A and B are shown apart, each in its own frame.
Chain A
Amino acid sequence: MSSNKKYWKSVEELNENSSIVETLKQNEFVTEIPTDEFLGDKDTLEATSTTRRDFLKYVGFSTAAASLAACEGPVKKSIPYVVQPTEIIPGVANYYATTIADGFDFASVLVKTREGRPIKIENNTLAATNGSANARVNASVLGLYDSLRVQGPKKEGAAISWSNFDAETTKALNNVKGSGKSIVLLTQSYASPSTKNLIAEFKEAYGNVNHVVYDAISEFAAVEAFQNKYNTRGLADYDFSKAMTIVSVGADFLGDWQGGGFDAGYSKNRIPDHGKMSRHIQFESNMSLTGANADKRVPVTPNQQKLALAKLYSLVTGNNVSVKGLPEHVEAAVKSAAVQLKKAGSNGVVVTGIQDVNAQTVALELNEYLASKAFNSKVVIKTKEGNDKDVAQLVADMKAGKVGAIIMSGVNPLYTLPNAADFAEGLKKTQLSIAFSMKEDETSSQTQYLAAAPHYLESWGDVEIKTGHYSLTQPTIRPLFDTRQFQDALLKWTNNDTTYSDYIKSTWNTNILAGGSYNKALHDGFFVNVIAEEVVESSDAEEATEAPASNAAQALVASAKAQGLELSLYTKTGMGDGQQANNPWLQEFPDPITRTSWDNYLTVSKADAAEIGLINRHVANGALNGSYANVTVNGVTITAPVIIQPGQANGSVGLSFGYGRTAGLKEEMQTGVNAYALYHNFNNVQNVTIEPASGEHEFASVQLHNTLMGRGDIIKETTLEIFNTKDKKHWNAVPVVSLNHEETPVTSPEVDLWDEFDRSIGHHFNLSIDLNACTGCGACVIACHAENNVPVVGKSEVRRSRDMHWLRIDRYYSSEESFAGDNEKKDNISGLGSSLSEFGEMEHASENPEVAFQPVMCQHCNHAPCETVCPVAATSHGRQGQNHMAYNRCVGTRYCANNCPYKVRRFNWFLYNGNDEFDYHMNDDLGRMVLNPDVVVRSRGVMEKCSMCIQMTQKTVLDAKRDGRVIKDGEFQTACSAACSSGAMVFGDINDKDSKVAKLKEDNRMYHLLEHVGTKPNVQYHTKVRNTTEA
């Protein structure tokens, strides 16, 4: 065994006597078929007039009728183009490079289109500008086919034509211009050079124009700090691949911190190379994705974070800042972090997520002091333009009636503003209000004019994500509806007849390209200005080593005042700022940490929960219920369900943004509570009082689904020290069995029940997953959804363990403090007294657990247990290593799922498409446009599972056959491996000895899941190594 750690997925599992855990271990399908329910009701049964004979008659008749009806095939129409566009060949996908810039997510992407329909978002591997497509960006394609999109411009709720819209709004704008009141443009962060020019032209034309940029989730403090220090508006860029020691104080940089997209760089140094890997220390209150990946995670309240950062500053720079009030263990941790940072020197980096100018300044100064290689203040991130002061001023002005006209684009202030009521009041006082929106959302339904806006896949645009790094947005489909983008409207209002696409082209040709080809930039989707890059290179050489002033740190200490419970508002990997709340993929996407879908919730530490009287409990089928709590901030109270979160710092609670929307959403998607109401002064940390409220919330949490079945070594992990010093046997031993009283590895053919199948010829696909590089971001989960037409089943079905994710990312907690102890204790438990002491121990365990993520999909076993039990041979093995599933052959016995040790098979309990009992994308014509035509949509009563994207491998093979060439390494991809930007997932052909995946298979860290079962999977895992070396 790699370690004797006890792994657990849920707090419930720490309770040794839990009958639920026992049930879940034994039963694949927890819910019984409710025969008792409909046969047990004797009265109704007897009262019915239908006799058994009648019943049989009906059955016979309907069967006969059905089979007769089936004899006549439907007539299918096939309608070719009148004029086929030259670039479209039916059945062949086209790819377009474009850029998403929705104000929250900015990424260069590649859009796969089929017959003119965008169906999938992929990484634009050419563009190395900023990270890659995260889960939300992957899911954004579904927003294009949202059935609730506004289909044309509206005035006061009634449809209006664009020509009338132009005439009326232009007149109204001119009236406002004459009246002397101001015209306000309230927009998202566009970071767009062309839009900037356009707005300048608009200002010129209308005079008293005020452009306010509003980011729903503010990074204003960081931007201010950066501007104060460097006189540039923007955010410092970090390249974590250049950092060997990372200290983060409350920065969820693997999540959405300062624009996100840092995970690829981070993961590069997480893979032990020549005995070295980066060391990551995280101080945080909520358990974040970043904290989960840290080597050492110190749970501290937001207030303590400030102190910890100041202390760190004082220890590293030697500037004496007196810091009091830090708990002893935190202080020790800070000291140790400081020592490590100093040792690392320029290989170290400090980041912070504290929304405080002083804190951000301290972080900048620390990095300057360290001359951190990972820190770049020359090439700055420009995607956070929001200005909180302007927004606050605007609301005040509106209330005072100073604003004559407001034009909004890409923002939804009535949902995202904490003082939305004030804004609504002000809105009534403006003469003209226009909202550019794709939906009739909270704001656009309250404005005079709703200008229907296109989806980004239907729009033009340009973005300067970082200094000198330009990206282009181009339409990948004709606008589905009668929409117009904000910039085109600005052109109209300024009497400019050019289209926005031409406008961008001329802006680029004159200002940006410096002689480069516009067509090439459009083709690639981005353009990097080399001159700007060079400036950076040269200025990088000079190092700023002067000791910084300690004013900021002192101010920081002064600002830290402990006051009861502190609430940290955060964004979830799935929902972000809530723009895509009507996206069923994202709603059903389980949060990487809590594994809960379809909800947001108050995360509370176990100790605090006990104190306040909040509980979580599992009902009989394993589903999670939680109490409600009244959360009060500044007199605003909302009632949120509670999840007890291991690792949550005592004295702190967390609540995520993005939920609780009510307008422009299908009823099913109106989930959670609106945390923006508590986002007072755009500060993500608030003092809060919490009281238990009545009632119990039903969560759709998958954390207890598909449990370990008591097999602990599904995750293998070790420490860097052991990894470097000891033999593989110690930390990644192959299980052995006794053969003739000799220990024989289970992988050797002598102990195998089955004859080996010859896979040495042709392709033999393997998927390699490195647990060290995997950050648990979940982009692969959504990519898998999109590629394989995986249905969305809804909250109540997820709650019944019927989630359909082919690829799940298991999150395991393990107890940091007692490695071997837990196991021993577990075995020795007896009697009440013992179990009580046990309880105390376990509570301790959940205080600060270590976290491991493990993506699990069908393991494509060479000796697959599912294949042998299928009575109809619907699942069979292919020579290329894939376990095939013939849906049309499956009769739905579910034996395969029962016999699968990895619990990766998913059963279609219902018809999830074209079924009016469900209301997700597969149930309306528009939403179905996103379906991948190369993968069949499964019907009811059929088992399904990961196919290792056989449609993609087959396509690669066919392309090579058609060209008559040999396939190169890297050509084979699956949806998940292609979506994985951190390099955790590598796919390829192990019969190609030079391939990356073949080399990974020989790696010492390689192991297979549950190797002792002897299934010989084609998915490899790489043992997680933690860098626990202090100093």
Chain B
Amino acid sequence: MRKVIHRKLSKNFLRLGLIVLLAFTSSLSAQEGDPAKGKSLFNANCAACHQLDKKMTGPALRHIETRLSDEEGLDRDWIYAWVRNSSGLIKSGDAYANKVYNEFGGAAMTAFPQLSDDDLNNILAYTAEEKKAAPAPAAGAAPVQAASSSDGISNELILGALAILFILLALGLYLVNKTLRRFAAAQNLELETETGRTPLWKAFVQNQFLMIVVAIFFLLTSAYFAFGFMMQVGVDQGYQPVQPIHFSHKIHAGDNGIDCKYCHSSARVSKTSGIPSLNVCMNCHKSIYEYNGETTPEYSKEFYDGEIKKLYKAAGWSDEDQKYTGESQPVKWVRIHNLPDFAYFNHSQHVTVAGVECQTCHGPVQEMEEVYQYAPLTMGWCINCHRDTDVNVKDNAYYEKIHAELSKKYGVENLTAAQMGGLECGKCHY
């Protein structure tokens, strides 16, 4: 394994060198322009429809200038004209403009008259950069894994050695005992045998009081454990099923900081938080077709890219043609948080009215690669929170009167959800 990585590494080094070289030469050939500025301009203005290496709503743009001049004989001025007013160019009857226009389904490119020559030069400089090799899996990761695996081996070794040691020790003791007895027999020494005294266990058994105490003790402990076991039945805290698509909340909510309610929008208004429909995924994933973030040995870039492919398949999106095929397959997610039917829970009450953070009940989802059930979701857990949490009455006309009256009655400044009536059976069970 290590060898393979080395081979890849060396290859990558070679490739990197080549890229640096090429980049340098190409930037020489381009007219003055700053690729760094170009990149930010590109991301701000172009990235919605263009990628460097991939056809999207618009064509791929890497080396667009050289390609245009080589293949079509068009110069930079043509590009300026196209970017600032593509429809004008099309109307003027420009052959290539019309060709591109028709090739991409007659979708006119948004005009960017605000981009100056310098801006465009910067963008072109950025597009003229050579493709960077995909970042190799962090080099440090492999040795760590190796070490951990050797750790496992050493642990087993130590345990094995210890076991052997114990066996040897026991054997030794047995041998010593045997030898001593032989000596005793040889010397006609009489071994003391305990007689006349009832053995301890018998005395214990005969003592009724002790027996009763012990019996009670055992009964209580077993009842305690039995109770503990029973109470665990149906509590699925930590439930972490394998999902049909490995959706990483860590990447979306954590690394990219997407708000929970961006995707789970119905949590604001409905009783269910709602699993986002695939069109919500596709809002972003139309343009995010690959994963470029941090990877781990367990989850490589290829792995994540594969999951995005699964999404495309489910949504019926053809990445090559950049359009929907119409053949979709709904994703059958495994539901993690299962409240029983007889408990009514409404997300909007908690999210919108009370302003509870999602993490309060769902835990650090932004750190979860795969989501698991964080809270026990037992009634005791609900109730405890209702007892401890103050009602969020700020700027809510509904609460004005009732809160003023009730807080006066209870003599408190802020009412808890329980005091507001949040412990009544019928509030959740109907």
Contact = CB atoms under 8 A, between A and B. Distances in A.
Given A79-B330, A80-B275, A70 B429 contact: no
Given A81-B277, A81-B330, A964 B395 contact: yes
Given A79-B333, A876-B425, A884-B426, A71 B274 contact: no
A888 B409 contact: no
A884 B342 CA distance: 13
A880 B421 contact: yes
B271 A951 contact: no
A9 B204 CA distance: 75
Interface stretch (A281-289, A702-710, A955-963): A955-963
A935 interface: yes
Nearest to B330: A79
Contacts of A81: 277-279, 330
A951 B343 CA distance: 12
A231 B128 CA distance: 87
Contact of A886 (B333, B338, B426): B426
Contacts of A761: 402, 405-406, 409
A65 to B, nearest CB: 14
Nearest to A955: B346
Interface string B393-422: 001111111100110010000000000010
B155 interface: no
A936 B341 contact: yes
A966 interface: yes
A882 interface: yes
Interface stretch (B53-61, B100-108, B116-124, B233-241): B233-241
A69 to B, nearest CB: 11
Contacts of B269: 89, 92, 962
Contacts of A83: 277-279, 328
B344 interface: yes
Given A89-B274, A888-B340, A958-B349, A878 B398 contact: no
Given A91-B266, A92-B266, A958-B349, A762 B333 contact: no
Contacts of A565: none
A278 B333 CA distance: 63
Contacts of B347: 91
A910 interface: no
Nearest to B270: A91
A947 B430 contact: yes
Contacts of A885: 425-426, 429-430
A889 interface: yes
Contacts of B395: 964
A741 interface: no
A954 B406 CA distance: 19
Contacts of B425: 874, 876, 878, 884-886, 889
B207 to A, nearest CB: 34
Interface in B324-375: 328-335, 338, 340-344, 346-349, 352-353
Interface string A75-103: 11111111110000111100000000000
Nearest to A884: B426
Contacts of B405: 760-761
A82 B316 contact: yes
Contacts of B266: 89-92
Interface in B258-297: 266, 269-272, 274-280
Contacts of A78: 275, 332-335
A950 interface: yes
Interface size class of A (residues with CB under 8 A): 35 or more
B424 A878 contact: yes
A543 interface: no
Interface in B376-398: 395-398
A570 to B, nearest CB: 39
Nearest to A949: B430
B277 A82 contact: yes
A82 B348 contact: no
A481 interface: no
Contacts of B430: 884-885, 935-936, 947, 950-951, 954
Nearest to B230: A67
Interface in A932-956: 934-937, 947, 950-951, 954
B314 interface: yes
B278 A77 contact: no
A76 B398 contact: no
A859 to B, nearest CB: 16
A80 B429 contact: no
Contacts of B270: 89-92
B323 interface: no
A887 B269 CA distance: 27
A996 B302 CA distance: 67
A53 interface: no
A879 interface: yes
Interface in A742-767: 758, 760-762
Interface in A943-1000: 947, 950-951, 954, 957-958, 960-967
B396 A879 contact: no
Contacts of A762: 402, 406, 421
B276 A80 contact: yes
Nearest to B239: A73
Interface string B311-327: 00011100000000000
A756 to B, nearest CB: 14
A80 B329 CA distance: 11
B15 interface: no
A1016 to B, nearest CB: 18
B37 interface: no
A77 B332 contact: yes
Interface string B196-222: 000000000000000000000000000
A882 B277 contact: no
B398 A954 contact: no
A878 B421 contact: yes
B429 A888 contact: yes
B272 A90 contact: yes
Contacts of B278: 80-83
A82 B314 contact: yes
Contact of A960 (B279, B315, B398, B427): B398
A889 B315 CA distance: 43
A90 to B, nearest CB: 5
A70 B279 contact: no
B340 A91 contact: no
A962 B241 contact: no
B426 A961 contact: no
Contact of A936 (B334, B342, B398): B342
B397 to A, nearest CB: 5
B279 A951 contact: no
A67 B279 CA distance: 42
B334 A876 contact: no
Nearest to A67: B233
Contacts of A954: 344, 427, 430
Contacts of A82: 277-279, 314-316, 328-330
A962 B347 CA distance: 11
A78 B334 CA distance: 6
Contacts of A92: 266, 269-270
16 contacts: A70-B233, A71-B234, A73-B234, A73-B236, A78-B275, A82-B314, A82-B329, A761-B405, A887-B342, A888-B342, A888-B343, A935-B430, A936-B341, A951-B344, A954-B344, A965-B397
Which 9 pairs between the two chains have the least Cβ-Cβ distance? Answer: A884-B426, A91-B270, A84-B277, A81-B277, A78-B335, A888-B342, A80-B275, A91-B271, A91-B272
Interface of B: 233-234, 236, 241, 266, 269-272, 274-280, 314-316, 328-335, 338, 340-344, 346-349, 352-353, 395-402, 405-406, 409, 421, 424-427, 429-430
Interface of A: 67, 70-71, 73, 75-84, 89-92, 758, 760-762, 874, 876, 878-880, 882, 884-889, 934-937, 947, 950-951, 954, 957-958, 960-967
Given A71-B233, A79-B332, 9 more contacts: A71-B234, A81-B330, A84-B280, A761-B409, A874-B425, A885-B429, A950-B426, A951-B344, A958-B346
